[in-house]
Amino acid sequence: MAFTPFRDEGESLSIGGLTLENGNVRIALYGRLDIRRDQESLKNLLVLKEQIDAIIVSLDAQKSLPAQASSGEVTHEMKNPF
């Protein structure tokens, strides 16, 4: 099950214990994927490779990419509660 990179539709994909979470400004990868010498590991790696390749194609198609994008997180100072 592939998703379109950087199109935030609340999509996420689990591969073993690894999760790819799609967003407008970033794609998050988190969790753990154990790779063993077995068919399940090969299948998981091929799915992961398909997703990584799609992300690379999407980024490569951009006209100009900044050297480093901002995190996209909006933060503000909070009063110390102590």
pLDDT digits (tens, 9 = 90+) for 12-67: 999 999 999 999 889 999 999 999 999 999 999 999 999 999 999 999 999 888 88
Q: What is the 3-state secondary structure (H, E, C) of the chain?
A: CCCCCCCCCCCEEEECEEEEECCCCCCEEEEECCCCCCHHHHHHHHHHHHHHHHHHHHHHCCCCCCCCCCCCCCCCCCCCCC
Give the span between the Cα atoms of 8 and 26, in whole angstroms: 9
Predicted pLDDT at 3:
80
Boundaries of every domain in the chain: 12-59
For residue 67, the one-letter residue type is A
Q: How far apart are alpha carbons 53 and 3 in whole angstroms?
A: 12
- At 1 the pLDDT is 56
The better pLDDT of the pair 40, 1 is held by 40
- The pLDDT value given to residue 2: 65
* Greater model confidence, 75 or 69: 69
